[in-house]
């Protein structure tokens, strides 16, 4: 082949390669566009519900101090508690830690009250029991930052120290008595009577009551330091009777220095009401937002108690 022909072929090949690269560059999204596409893909995945539990936990949808409500069938005591409170739930816990919060942790754990005192339980222990359904609620407030979420869980760890030292049969009898008494009088009065007899209320109540106490004490600590306004305390009181005994919204400012004192004293003044909070109180509270419901290995996104009840009743 003559030299001019070779030159022409080389030039044509180079031009073709340049045009192909230019076309590829035109079709390839820029860095910002690629980010947008990745975000859209992630959003499409997030919008796909229900999810299996493993995918849900890998997606790290849970937050520290998320409130966990659950129910186990085949438990006589739990059934009595549900009957006494007209609730589908018989137990409450709190999301304690997970790989998204603490390095070196491979599973997601909840903190709960058991017959041996405080227990850290794998979240999957709830979800792998097919006779259990689980609901997740969350406190969504701008002031409820990650350090304050951590403080709530720390307070629960500090508070649930006592161990149950009576025989199982006596515990069941007292639990049944608690359920009956709280049905015919009031759960606040029943807690008071339990204390007069130096008894521990059933663990289903101890745990939900301490979830409440954890939130209240976290807020009081922040109020003492002047980090949040005293009236903010109302946002973490999940017991309607206790909330009704606090100054109404918008009136705290007229209390002056007494506003801070009122908030700080709430823990002691309303102790029985706060400790008597039940899983149903947590379920009914509009201070906590519904997030997820888990049943038969599937996680549903929910936004109301009505949705939860519909899923509970679905076979």
Residue by residue, DSSP assigns 48-81 as --SEEHHHHHHTT---TT-EEEEEETT-HHHHHH
Tokens for 305, please give them.
Answer: 């108690």
Residue 145 has pLDDT above 80, yes or no: yes
Rg of the chain taking only CA atoms, in angstroms: 27
Stronger pLDDT, 173 or 62, i.e. the higher one:
62
Confidence of residue 116 (pLDDT cuts 50, 70, 90): low
Residue 114 has pLDDT above 90, yes or no: no
Residue 3 has pLDDT above 70, yes or no: no
Summarised one tens digit per residue, pLDDT across range 56-105 is 999 989 999 999 999 876 666 677 777 777 789 988 899 999 988 888 88
Give the rounded distance of the alpha carbon of 157 from its chain centre.
Answer: 16
Residue 137 has pLDDT above 90, yes or no: yes
Average of pLDDT values for 181-202? 54
Assess contact for 277 and 238: CB atoms under 8 A: yes
Summarised one tens digit per residue, pLDDT across range 274-299 is 877 888 999 999 999 999 999 999 99
Alpha helix positions (H), the chain = 3-27, 31-46, 53-58, 76-85, 123-127, 146-159, 168-184, 187-196, 203-224, 240-244, 258-269, 271-275, 279-284, 305-313
Total Cβ atoms within 10 A of residue 295:
18
Q: What's residue 110's pLDDT?
A: 93
The rounded distance, in Å, linking the Cα atoms of 211 and 209 is 5
Lay out the sheet containing 132-138: strands in order across.
51-52, 298-301, 289-295, 132-138, 67-72, 91-97, 109-114, 117-122
- The residues, any chain, with a CB within 8 Å of residue 70's CB and separated by 6 or more, are 89, 90, 91, 92, 93, 126, 132, 133, 134, 135
Q: What's residue 209's pLDDT?
A: 82
Average of pLDDT values for 124-136? 85
Tokens for 52, please give them.
Answer: 């299996």
The DSSP line for 253-300 is GGGTTHHHHHHHHHHHHTHHHHHT--HHHHHH-TTSEEEEEEETTEEE
Summarised one tens digit per residue, pLDDT across range 217-273 is 999 999 999 999 999 999 999 988 889 999 999 999 999 989 999 999 998 888 878
Q: What's residue 169's pLDDT?
A: 34
3-class secondary structure, 93: strand
Q: What's residue 168's pLDDT?
A: 36
Q: What's residue 182's pLDDT?
A: 54
Q: What's residue 259's pLDDT?
A: 94
Q: What's residue 208's pLDDT?
A: 83
Assess contact for 148 and 222: CB atoms under 8 A: yes
Q: What's residue 102's pLDDT?
A: 83
Total Cβ atoms within 10 A of residue 168:
9
Residue 152 has pLDDT above 90, yes or no: yes
Q: What's residue 207's pLDDT?
A: 74
Q: What's residue 189's pLDDT?
A: 60
CATH class of 51-313: alpha beta
């Amino acid at each position: 082949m003559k030299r001019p022909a070779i030159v022409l072929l080389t030039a044509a090949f180079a031009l073709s390669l340049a045009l192909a690269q230019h076309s590829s560059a035109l079709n390839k999204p820029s860095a910002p566009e690629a980010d947008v596409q990745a975000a859209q893909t992630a959003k499409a995945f997030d919008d796909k519900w229900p999810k299996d539990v493993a995918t849900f936990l890998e997606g790290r949808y849970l937050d520290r101090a998320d409130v966990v409500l659950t129910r186990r069938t085949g438990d006589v005591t739990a059934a009595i508690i549900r009957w006494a409170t007209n609730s589908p739930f018989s137990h409450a816990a709190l999301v304690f830690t997970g790989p998204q919060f603490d390095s070196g942790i491979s599973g997601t754990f909840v903190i709960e009250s058991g017959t041996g005192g405080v227990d850290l339980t794998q979240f999957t222990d709830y979800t792998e029991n097919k006779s259990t359904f689980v609901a997740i609620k969350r406190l969504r407030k701008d002031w409820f930052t990650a350090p304050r979420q951590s403080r709530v869980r720390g307070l629960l760890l500090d508070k649930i120290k006592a161990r149950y030292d009576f025989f199982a049969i006596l515990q069941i009898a007292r639990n049944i008595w608690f359920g009956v008494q709280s049905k015919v009088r009031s759960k606040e009065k029943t807690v008071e009577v339990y204390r007069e007899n130096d008894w521990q209320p059933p663990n289903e109540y101890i745990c939900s009551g301490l979830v409440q106490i954890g939130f209240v004490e976290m807020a009081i600590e922040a109020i003492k330091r002047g980090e949040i306004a005293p009236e903010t305390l109302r946002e973490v009181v999940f017991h309607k009777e206790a909330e009704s005994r606090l100054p109404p919204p918008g009136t705290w400012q007229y209390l002056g220095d007494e506003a801070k004192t009122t908030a700080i004293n709430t823990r002691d003044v309303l102790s029985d009401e706060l400790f008597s909070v039940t899983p149903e109180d947590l379920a009914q509270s509009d201070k906590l937002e519904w997030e997820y419901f888990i049943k038969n290995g599937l996680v549903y996104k929910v936004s109301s108690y009505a949705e939860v009840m519909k899923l509970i009743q679905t076979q």
